[in-house]
Amino acid sequence: MSPNGKKSEPGKNGNIPQMPRAMRTMSFWVLMLILLFVGAQLLESGKPREFQVNYSRFMTELEQNNLSLVTFENTELHGKFRHPVQITYGDKAVDVEHFTTSLPFELPDLLETIRAYSTETHPIQIQIDKPRFNWGNMLIYWAPILLLVFLWFFFIRQMQGGSNRAFSFGKSRAKLVSGDKPATSFDDVAGADEAKVELNEIVEFLSDPKKFKRMGARIPRGALLVGPPGTGKTLLAKAVAGEARVPFFSMSGSDFVEMFVGVGASRVRDLFEQGKKSAPCILFVDELDAVGRHRGAGLGGGHDEREQTLNQLLVEMDGFDTSDGVILLAATNRPDVLDPALLRPGRFDRQIIVDMPDVRGREGILKVHMRNLPVADDVNVKTLAQGTPGLSGADLANICNEAALLAARLNHDKVYSIDFEEARDKSMLGPERRSRVFSDETRLKTAYHEAGHAIVGTLLENADTLHKVTIVARGMAGGVTHFLPDEEKYIYRDREALLDTITMALAGMVAEQLIYSNTSSGAASDIKKVTSIARHMVTQWGMSDKLGPIAYGDNEETVFLGRSITQNSNCSEATAQIIDSEVRDIVERCRERAQEVLEQNRDGLDRVANALMERETISGEEVDLLLKGEELAPFDKEAAESARQLRISKTKPTHERIDDVLSEAGKLELSQDEMDPAAPAEPSEESAPLQDDADSDDSPEKPEN
């Protein structure tokens, strides 16, 4: 029995797999042709084999009285020699008893000639038969025609729909997930607790609708999952299918629209017809914005197939002919481009926000993805979650997968904390690019640039906490300074925090000016970042004393293109000059503030830059010690490099890698426990966790060749 009480039929819902209809048709016709050919062969198999003999040889044997039987059949003559005759067949000599000869067109006296040679001692039996039906010749002649007819019938059957329609282009391509096959449940979804509560109502309504109907509540027509890419909207839909235990039809928004006119609307009708037959059920449309964009936005006018599809979808969701028990789930990351008619109550009754997870949500997501991994005891999931701010569920899943791949590549017996840290760095910042060889002068300039970011970010009150600064190239960045947010910033950032962010971003360029009296192209991303923040402060966020809380430069968004193509200048030329002046004033004041902070900590700037040149990577705690004038612990460069080589070695077994490192470094002392091939490689200082990139594109200049 199916979940809705209907008896399951064989071959439906995946109970008994059946051969596709097209394959059954093709198999039938192929079988018929094979039987026809075999029958023709059986008819011919009971007759003796005849060899072709030319007319001259026939007359020679006739004159020698070597014929015992002659049969006339149309323009051919069949017969039997009295004594076998040897002829050449191919490259071999064969003895022939039965023969056939093709006759010339007009031989009126041949019959009399044969009778003349027939004597009492050597009689020749003469027969005249009706023409025989030659199956072989018939098949050779009719085979091309039969093949064309067969192909024509095959394609016609392919295009016929299940309900005797001429073509099946309008048939829905939705995939059915049977209610008795739950693959995903709410336990597999983390970081979206509010969304699960909203969707659980729909599951409860499908499971026990009487509880809600007693209170006069009606089942929702639809629920729209809205959120950035990678936050788990499709996964939530799969979880609803697993929890509800009802038929679940899944389809992509792009599957509705084809090159033929009217196909999209036809597929929408067919999808809801299937849903009504299987009610109660859930229909899921992924990437709804493919068909649900705002109507009337097509450039150039004309008939729009997508609008016809949307109109049919609107009618099916809440028109004259609607039925209870069919719930439409949809997912999109572009709710701003959807048609307002879709979002009204009665169609999509609720919009469920699936936002980026907070630190608790990230911790839950990591635990879900670590279920099937052999995680070591030194992995702290909470710390890993705190070090991945702003990442989506898909990003976290990728980090877990990269960590498992790295552990397997390094022959680890488990996935250790060092593997997760390296996977996080690789996912967020790109892999280390130590092959990029810089000159000492370029490395020193990069060190001062990153030291400027680190010092100003450490000393400013409203800046995030410094986690690590490095001059090791990662991705396209020549050096990176990483900050960890003290708390999750969802919507609001006050004016002082924004000014501190601009000041910290400009500190790298200011440090270069302070040391070298000039700047480099490495500040390009910093300048772009601070200009965007300052302009938004003036034109969008009302943080300018001269202009006040007024928005300028509204975007005119064209829904058809999905992006802004023009910007409405709703201000005068004089106001535009004031905007430019205010933006320049904000940036200049922040630059002066960064210069003041660095001049007051000139010794600290040199100490941090020198530490970066020596160690390449230092932590936020070490930057604090350097600013206080304290000395760092001694640094063994050869030992750190040897440990790094040990960690990244991929080709040799573990014990061979350790032997190579010991022979090259000479100073790295490993204990007997560390010599264990199953033990993980010790982390080097520079492989500690890297976090949110505050200056990911800083590359002061190209490396010298």
The residue whose two tokens read 């400009």 is 506
What tens digit of pLDDT does each residue of 376-426 get?
988 989 888 888 888 888 999 999 999 999 999 888 889 998 889 888 888
Q: Which two tokens stand for residue 284?
A: 């899921």
Measured torsion, CA atoms of residues 583, 587, 592, 595, in degrees rounded to the nearest 10: -170
Domains and CATH numbers, the chain: 47-128 (3.30.720.210), 175-353 (3.40.50.300), 356-429 (1.10.8.60), 430-705 (1.20.58.760)
pLDDT at site 476: 65
Report the phi/psi class of residue 548: left, alpha or beta, with left for phi > 0 and alpha for psi in -120 to 50: left
Alpha helix segments (H runs only) across 430-523: 440-459, 495-516
Measured torsion, CA atoms of residues 630, 634, 640, 643, in degrees rounded to the nearest 10: -110
DSSP state, 253? G
pLDDT at site 136: 61
d(CA 124, CA 62): 9
Q: How far is residue 470 from each of residues 103, 597, 620, 689, measured CA to CA in Å?
A: 100, 21, 11, 12
pLDDT at site 386: 82
Q: Which two tokens stand for residue 492?
A: 């609001």
Q: How far is residue 513 from each of residues 82, 351, 516, measured CA to CA in Å?
A: 119, 51, 5
Residue 118, Cβ density class (10 Å: 0-12 exposed, 13-18 middle, ≥19 buried): middle
CB contact set of 579 (below 8 Å; sequence gap of 6+): 535, 538, 539, 544, 547, 552, 571
DSSP letters spanning 518-536: S--GGGHHHHHHHHHHHHH
3-state secondary structure of 79: strand
Decide if 588 is catalytic: no
CB contact set of 638 (below 8 Å; sequence gap of 6+): 665, 666, 667, 668
pLDDT at site 26: 66
3-state secondary structure of 558: strand
d(CA 605, CA 611): 10
Residue 372, Cβ density class (10 Å: 0-12 exposed, 13-18 middle, ≥19 buried): exposed
Nearest to 439 by CA among 702, 255, 65, 224: 702
What tens digit of pLDDT does each residue of 532-568 get?
999 999 998 889 888 888 888 754 444 444 444 445 5
Q: How far is residue 632 from each of residues 482, 604, 627, 685, measured CA to CA in Å?
A: 20, 13, 11, 13
Give the pairing type, strands 555-558 and 222-226. unpaired
Residues of the chain with pLDDT under 50: 1-17, 161-166, 300-302, 555-566, 649-705
Q: How many CA atoms lie within 13 A of 235 on its CB side?
A: 21
pLDDT at site 156: 67
Prediction pTM value? 0.62
pLDDT at site 399: 92
Residues in the chain: 705
Q: List the catalytic residue out of 450, 512, 616, 622.
A: 450
Q: Which two tokens stand for residue 255?
A: 């599957």
d(CA 336, CA 297): 14
pLDDT at site 530: 92
Give the pairing type, strands 248-252 and 281-286. parallel
pLDDT at site 415: 92
Give the pairing type, strands 465-470 and 617-619. antiparallel
Nearest to 417 by CA among 382, 453, 371, 461: 382
pLDDT at site 576: 87
